[in-house]
Chain A
Amino acid sequence: MSEHTENARLGLAQAAYVVARRDLRAILFSKAFLFFLLGPVFFLLVAGGAASVSQKTVENREPPVLAVSMDPADAAAIEVARNRLQDMVDLPRMERVDTGADPAKVLADRSRNYGGVLTGTLDEPRLTGTPESIERWRGEVALTAGVAKGRGSNYPEVTLQPTATSGASAKRSLVGTATATVTLMFLLTMLLAGMVMSNLVEEKANKIIEILAAAIPMDAVFLGKLFAMLGVSFVGLAVWGGIGGTIMAAGGRSLAELTAPAVGWPVFAALFLVYFAMAYLLIGSIFLTIGAMAPTVRDVQTLSLPATMLQLGVFFLATYATSDLGSPVELAAVAVPFSSPYAMISRAAQQPALWPHFAALAWQALWVLLFVRMGATLFRRRVMKSGPQQPRARRWGRARAAT
């Protein structure tokens, strides 16, 4: 038999490559791919809305703080006055910092959420911060300083010292970057997952699945289809990135003008690709398995509703966690495999540490392996379960005949 066994089959990777190559070419050279490329136009509208909502949420949940850097007596008086007024007027939260601290340094501290720094004296208060913050707080500071000086005193004139940025505004920008990235990743994954779910319908409808199953292991079909769609998405990302970059360059803009993610743009971009691949493989392996069990497009549509709900749940968890790093919810989002890629790209936007990403990627890779393995096993068992499907009428007729 040795003459029969020499190079007698394709390896798993080779077989998966044959399937992936066919799928990739079929999709890239189809008219439907043009619609796929148009997807971001709609996504940008949704993403813009989501980012706006998210931004408001961030602001509501974690309003910027006014740092008070006055001499101890004045600072204490300010604190007492604020406590007296807070039930009557909506005042900013205030926090005492070292007397004589450099306002620029205080504002640059990204670990705190300072929107402005109050220095000077009760008679001549000085407010340093981003223009929008200090303009908003100007009257409130005058009121508080006036009350702090005592009954009958005039409200002092507040000197404004605008700065380009503050810890709070930088943090808001980073949260915005994180939210936008999470939303982009979610929308891309959602688009792909929908496609991957209906991916096998063509094979089933055209009866090709049996030829594939006879020639190569079903695991290879599963992997080939999964990675073909990932390849399609990378082509899409390259096209969209190229168009976006061209538009930015034409408008004289560059990434350097945007608030850089905490890990820097190059690392962030690399992490985005890796986390996107992880998010897609995790959800895609499940969707492909579910889709493999659906014999028609209608069945796929029916199945896609709960699947979309699952994705939305993951998205909401990740978005909620974005503005609350270190909280139990955020840690849960990091730990849950489906939301972990989203939560971690959000971290990459806001925190410079890289080691958590290695740990998270190892964790996610473990789950990807597990899900792909489970999906392929189920897929193999379910997809070629029985003989050719009989039309319902015929089955019904046979059942009636049997009775």
Chain B
Amino acid sequence: MNAPLSLSPLTGNAGRPLAIEAIGLVKRFEGTTAVDGVDLAVPEGAIYGVLGPNGAGKTTTLRILLGIIDPDEGVRRVFGHERPHDIARLIGYLPEERGLYPSMKAVEAIAFLGALRGVPLAEGRKRGLELLEEHGLGHAADRTIRQLSKGMAQTVQLLGTLIHRPRLVVLDEPFSGLDALNQGKLEAMIRRMAADGATVIFSTHVIAHAERLCEGVAIIAGGKVPYAGSVDAARDRIPAQVRLETAAPDGPWRAALPADARHEGRYWLFSLPESGIEPLLRALIEGNAGILSLSIERAGLHDAFVHIAGEAAARALEEASPAEQAR
């Protein structure tokens, strides 16, 4: 489970050009290997999640992909370029630790972030005002950042990340610190960006966000990526779970249940056999089990995460923010 698996292309996306490609990325800091052989392939137009607990290597991986730091080993390509700064105008980045100049006005802050990506200052101010109006913050355009609430400042920074209309948007833990309402707004924004053709990659330690939004995920733990591919393929790593309720408590039909079947309350729980549900149904009927209810539940991303990254990583994920995981 710990060995990095080979890249599995996103289902149904074969032939789509890659916005991001990383092969064998390694980064060490003073003897500690923060990123250890990370492989990634993010197709253009995808919403892609980098999922892992704090300290797993998510931020370092994103920083390498953005060219903020260089890998000690391995190759990264963004839109085919090995030096991401060469195509900086195509990329928007929201770091985990948000930051703006406190004495700058909101509209100026957005324009400055745009200027860093090549948008002329006057054009940046114009677009900044439009974006602020669009997001209900037009009244705050001339307020300094220190006069804004934390949520407003975060929105301003996000708008600054998007002002130059990037083709690739990289968001590091974008949901952290946002209340449920703003998380919902952000999810909508991410979907809109993807609908407009942008590729969005974000890191998160909240499985629910990745499950709701992402077409593909990379599960990262201890600097390694044990899984990178589609969310569906990740969930399919675990057989579907069958929940069976019978009228008869026992009988010859019991022999037909899979070996991992366990009895919890009124239910039998077990993995869907590889042969499918039909042979089992036949045996239950012939054995007069009296089927009261039967449901087949596909594994969630959380179960897939536990299966792929291990119990320890899953515990770390939950410990990071139990409330957020519950959302």
Contact = CB atoms under 8 A, between A and B. Distances in A.
Interface of A: 1, 4-5, 7-10, 14-15, 18, 22, 26, 30, 202-203, 206-217, 384-388
Given A4-B167, A9-B88, A211 B99 contact: yes
B95 A210 contact: yes
Contact of A215 (B96, B97, B116): B116
B89 A206 contact: no
Contacts of B60: 386-387
Given A9-B86, A26-B103, 5 more contacts: A5-B87, A15-B116, A206-B102, A214-B91, A215-B113
Contact of B86 (A8, A207, A211, A388): A8
Given A9-B87, A386-B29, A387-B60, A214 B95 contact: yes
Contacts, number: 99
Interface residues of B, number: 37
Contacts of B34: 386-387
A8 B97 contact: no
Contact of B85 (A9, A26, A208): A9
A83 to B, nearest CB: 73
Contacts of A30: 103
Contact of B67 (A1, A202, A214): A214
B69 A384 contact: yes
Given A5-B86, A386-B29, A388-B96, A211 B79 contact: no
A394 B257 CA distance: 49
Contacts of A387: 34, 59-60, 63
Interface string B70-82: 0000000001110
Contact of B93 (A8, A15, A214): A214
Interface of B: 29, 34, 59-60, 63, 66-69, 79-81, 85-91, 93, 95-104, 112-113, 115-118, 167
Given A22-B112, A385-B29, A206 B68 contact: no
30 contacts: A1-B79, A1-B81, A4-B79, A4-B87, A5-B86, A8-B86, A9-B85, A9-B88, A9-B89, A9-B118, A10-B89, A10-B117, A18-B112, A22-B101, A26-B101, A30-B103, A203-B99, A206-B102, A207-B97, A207-B99, A209-B99, A210-B68, A211-B93, A211-B95, A214-B63, A214-B95, A215-B88, A215-B93, A216-B116, A386-B29
A232 to B, nearest CB: 16
Nearest to B103: A26
B68 A213 contact: yes
Contacts of A213: 68
A384 B34 CA distance: 14
B97 A210 contact: yes
Contacts of A4: 79-81, 87, 90, 167
Contact of B100 (A8, A18, A208, A216): A208
Contacts of B86: 5, 8-9
A92 B161 CA distance: 77
A14 B118 CA distance: 9
A166 to B, nearest CB: 57
Given A5-B81, A5-B86, A202-B101, A211 B118 contact: no
Nearest to B161: A211
B90 A384 contact: no
Nearest to A17: B115
A217 B103 contact: no
B174 to A, nearest CB: 14
B115 to A, nearest CB: 5
B116 A18 contact: yes
B160 to A, nearest CB: 8
B95 to A, nearest CB: 4
A207 B95 contact: yes
Nearest to B30: A386
Contacts of A208: 99-101
A386 B57 CA distance: 10
Contacts of A388: 59, 96-97
Contact of B68 (A8, A9, A207, A214): A214
Contacts of B59: 387-388
Nearest to B115: A18
A208 B97 CA distance: 9
Contacts of A206: 99-102
Nearest to B173: A388
A351 to B, nearest CB: 47
A18 B167 CA distance: 22
A203 B101 CA distance: 8
Contact of B89 (A1, A7, A18, A214): A7
A215 B95 CA distance: 12
Contacts of A216: 85, 88, 116
Contacts of B85: 9, 216-217
A11 B90 CA distance: 15
A10 B88 contact: yes
A100 B63 CA distance: 83
Nearest to B116: A215
Nearest to A386: B29
A384 B85 CA distance: 15
B90 A8 contact: yes
